[in-house]
Amino acid sequence: MAVQKDKQFNDWFNHRWRPAAAWVYMVICVLDFALFPIFWSILQAHQGIAITQWVPLTLQGAGLFHMAYGAILGVTAWSRGKEKITAMENNYQGSYGINSNANNEVEGSINENR
**Distance separating alpha carbons of residues 57 and 80, to the nearest angstrom:** 30
Give me the pLDDT at residue 36, please.
96
Report whether pLDDT(101) > 80: no
Among 58, 78, 93, where does a domain finish?
58
pTM: 0.63
5 and 44 share a domain? Answer: yes
DSSP calls for 30-68: HIIIIIHHHHHHHHHHHHT--------GGGTTTTHHHHH
- Residue 106 — very low, low, confident or very high, per pLDDT cuts 50/70/90? very low
| Total tally of structural domains belonging to the chain | 2
51 and 103 share a domain? Answer: no
54 and 83 share a domain? Answer: no
Q: What's 98's DSSP letter?
A: -
Among 43, 58, 73, where does a domain finish?
58
Dump pLDDT digits (tens) for 9-65: 777 777 788 889 999 999 999 999 999 999 999 999 998 887 889 999 999 988 999
Please check whether residue 73 is in contact with residue 26, taking contact to mean a CB–CB distance below 8 angstroms: no
69 and 93 share a domain? Answer: yes
49 and 70 share a domain? Answer: no
Average pLDDT of the chain to the nearest whole number: 80
Helix, strand or coil, per DSSP, at residue 96? coil
Look up the domain containing 109 and give its range.
61-114
**Distance separating alpha carbons of residues 40 and 36, to the nearest angstrom:** 6
79 and 26 share a domain? Answer: no
- Residue 89 — very low, low, confident or very high, per pLDDT cuts 50/70/90? confident
Give me the pLDDT at residue 35, please.
97
65 and 50 share a domain? Answer: no
39 and 75 share a domain? Answer: no
75 and 24 share a domain? Answer: no
